[in-house]
A and B are shown apart, each in its own frame.
Chain A
Amino acid sequence: MAKPILSVEGLVKSYGAHQVLQGVSFQVTMQEVLVIIGLSGSGKSTLLRCINGLEDFSAGRIVVDGIEVDPHRASVWAVRQKVGMIFQHFNLFPHLTARQNIELAPRRVLGLPAAECHARADALLARVGLAQFADKYPGRLSGGQQQRVAIARALAMQPSVMLFDEPTSALDPETVGEVLNTMKELAGSGMTMIVVTHELGFAREVGNRILFMDGGVIVEGGAPEAILSRPQNPRTRQFIQAVL
């Protein structure tokens, strides 16, 4: 097996008495597309937020590209620069145009020259098929377009891993496809991705591996075809039947 770029070992996270993650372990190798499925409240989103240090965890260990994730240490900022995150509700900055949304972090975090940031933003907008929307504010874009801008914004920091937290759940059905296509293109380009989604078609077509989570643990994991067509665990079976 190739060298993992990300490893999660025995991750535990609790809110008071409630344990959201009860010992989650897995690894992701370079260029892998890992799809995580499971019911709401199974801890998928919390898991993603722990990976780039947006949330504290109670026990366990996460290592990204050789850096241990610890929200209380300054090194967490290095992790965040290596890990891009896509949110369910896009979370664009509403006072900035699409291009400005993309330019901000390269310009103010990496300190790159304005012209370079501008060019990088335009190239990324073209890549996600939104070149003509560069000067539009998020409020003027559809959900699918906003999510593609958000993907371009994360890519502008040239991350080694991209996390997707239900990227299409808040979208109108007719714009889901354009976002999934953008993600598929990204996977094809060799990006390492962890995708939390209910889009099982995407999981089957683009994913290299699927993990099914329930009650804060990984119940079952394996190749998409195996998990989706021949789930071994009754809970996985029940979930897949409900979603399909």
Chain B
Amino acid sequence: MTSTETRADRFVREIAELKIADPAAGRPRVWQRLGAALMVVGLALGVTAYLVSHRTSSPLVQGDAVTIGLGAVTASVTGGALFVRYSLTGFLRFWMARQSYELTVLADRLLEPGAGRDRAAP
């Protein structure tokens, strides 16, 4: 950056350098919905696995039920992770900003001249 560079010049340069993500308006919402759907599917598969395993005495069918149950757990965990990732990001970002602010204020207070005077006094 040169000292004579105007804001507009800098803007043009920064825009040219900007890595623009693939246009995907609404993609987070799709992922969030997919996450919710996977959680529901997981729940349904879990109930199905339970019912299947209790309505048979065949070890083969029960084996299938175990597989379905594991699939249910996988779907639920994946769905939950997706849902949390795309629904709470905004909130967590704000929370982190707040945490960062609190730490800065605390640091400012500790670094203020005479901050430790009371403690040092006899």
- Do A and B come together as binding partners? no
